[in-house]
Chain A
Amino acid sequence: MTERRLTIDPSVDAAIRRHGEETFPHECCGALIGSGGRVAEVFALPNTTEEGPRRRFLVRASDYRLAEQRASERHGELLGFYHSHPDHPARPSQFDLDHAWPTFAYIIVSVMSGRAGDMTVWYLKHDRSAFDEGTLHGDHNPDSHTAPAVHR
């Protein structure tokens, strides 16, 4: 399988990092909206986990619906979700794998001692056995700087 690429606008990159730092030491989460493998907007969502937000996140069904709605309002697609790993590397966990959906891009940002660091993107394999790592590309096209930052 060819490696999958995900392009993120600089404002998206910054918004995800900022969100991860703001919620540290808890995990943050949100939706990735765009089209054609390019994330134009992130949509921050509340972490509704009841299992301890330092190491878990949950986007509840009603927020998932909001994310889909927002994507269609923007004439875009819901490309996937992002979340942070406080004080842990930006590698997906077994728990991430167990809960992953096909085709979605999963961006993970590592936030070490409150500072956002590595950011990676992952896609679930067809047989659910593991994730494939994709490549994240920053987009330096100045026209794309209009993408809105994290929405609250």
Chain B
Amino acid sequence: MATTILIPTPLRPFTDKKDAVQAEGQTIGELLADLTTRHAGLKAHLYNDQGKLRSFVNVYVNDEDIRYLQKEQTPVSAADTVSIIPSVAGGIDLVEEVRKEAQPAADLPTLTNDEVKRYSRHLIMPEVGVDGQRKLKAAKVLCIGAGGLGSPAALYLAAAGVGRLGIVDFDAVDVSNLQRQVLHSTADIGRPKLTSAKEKLHALNPEIQIDTFETALTSENALRLFEPYDVILDGTDNFPTRYLVNDACVLLGKPNAYGSIFRFEGQASVFATKDGPCYRCLYPEPPPPGLVPSCAEGGVLGVLPGLIGVIQATEAIKLILGVGEPLIGRFLIYDALRMRFRELKLKKDPDCPVCGTHPTVTKLIDYEQFCGVMPAAPEQPAVSQNANPLEITAVELKQRLDRGDKLRIVDVREPNEYQINRIPGSELIPLGDIPKRYGELNPEEEIVVQCKMGGRSAKAADFLRSVGFKHVLNLKGGILDWVDKVDPSQPKY
């Protein structure tokens, strides 16, 4: 059973100049497979390297586009006429946009003899060369955070000779950071991350200027902090700051070399370039608080930020040099466990609230509120009564256990966390299992739910109350508070 296929002009050289040929198959997929067997030259033009029909190849059955039928499964018969119709498309590469904005060579600083030696492996590459290295010397990059992502990114940006490197961070080095935050060493525990970072980066490259900002990034200071820099590198670990960085980048027209990590998965992209999408084009709204765990809650493979942070640094350097294809309009997803990279196409959303054609966000807002995160409550005296009747503090819990009160303690963390530390007498039901295992609990008894810091257990408490449990208390601050205030003999993580 042969079906007629109409061939468009540009493909006729592959069908002996015929404008119509015959092929066999029950479906479009089979028909095209047979067609490309008979006329082998067609294959490269119809299919991409992954064996998928190219996006600009339209296939019609009679007058209907197969995209609106059953795609390649669309059945065909001898009575049908199939047409291959090109979409003709083209345009200007995004990288051209960035290149155009790059600084003219005449205004760039010159390289000293020491710098020529230091960067010689760059200078002999045509894509960098002396002019490219001068661009790097003139460039100013601001890293938000000197943690998992900021550490490798800052190290490589400093090594590469980015002339001015800013870092915003207000944390001190904790022993649990050292598994991945390679800017800091064991001797730095307890020191401000910025002090440690500046020492390491200057030891690596004394030629560059390092600006440190020991502050939390806020809506009040973000625009002022970003202003002097060319590229912002987002190494934050929370949604309010991520949206803040994105919006400030859009408002100032500065590219955001974005990365994020969780467990074995990393993501990277370049947001907020002139014609490219921003983080809000992808995620207009933050997830409900507590739904997406942070690395502190969910863990992260130590080497993962090494890879993602270095991708961010690579993108920053490409933007500065104006070479290659930046990750603009592309969202890279890296799966370390399966060792695979995937790429999603991103489009600038014309309705985006911040970078769209009619933006509703025209100045920085309250991002804690936007993300539904309550501002941190002032530290309460350890022995005081907890103001929130749905919560219990570690000290109150200890007092009630010592009194002999009958309390059932449910630990909603994962089994591997339970192995690290636990409250004596607690039983483990991971958060994900609560909906199917709450039958093991008595809705009338008094239950204390607990996790690492109190976020997951708050969700467990909400769920239990929603299914009729009357006395559920959330342990405020989780087991970390318990270890700090009640049982310092246990390890923290």
Contact = CB atoms under 8 A, between A and B. Distances in A.
A92 interface: yes
Interface in A49-67: 49, 51-52, 54-61, 64-65
Interface residues of A, number: 39
A99 B325 contact: no
Interface string A51-90: 1101111111100110010010000011001010111100
Contact of B9 (A52, A57, A68): A68
A127 interface: yes
B134 to A, nearest CB: 23
Interface residues of B, number: 30
Contact of B92 (A68, A77, A93, A99): A93
Interface in B199-235: none
Contact of A101 (B11, B92, B94): B11
B91 A96 contact: yes
A104 B90 CA distance: 13
Contact of B8 (A57, A68, A128): A68
A77 B13 CA distance: 13
A103 interface: yes
A61 B58 contact: yes
A95 B93 contact: yes
A77 B91 contact: no
A59 B9 contact: no
Interface stretch (B81-89, B294-302, B447-455): B81-89
B45 interface: yes
A94 B329 CA distance: 14
B282 to A, nearest CB: 16
A101 B12 CA distance: 11
Contact of B45 (A77, A87, A128): A128
Contact of B89 (A54, A59, A127): A59
B97 interface: yes
Nearest to A31: B88
A59 B88 contact: yes
Given A61-B65, A81-B88, 12 more contacts: A27-B92, A49-B91, A51-B91, A54-B275, A56-B92, A58-B87, A59-B87, A59-B88, A61-B87, A85-B92, A86-B92, A95-B93
Interface of A: 27, 29, 49, 51-52, 54-61, 64-65, 68, 71, 77-78, 81, 83, 85-88, 92-96, 99-104, 106, 127-128
21 contacts: A29-B88, A49-B91, A51-B347, A52-B275, A52-B348, A56-B92, A58-B87, A64-B86, A68-B8, A85-B91, A88-B96, A92-B90, A93-B91, A93-B96, A99-B88, A101-B10, A101-B11, A102-B13, A104-B9, A106-B90, A128-B45
Interface of B: 8-14, 44-45, 56, 58, 60, 65, 85-94, 96-97, 100, 275, 325, 347-348
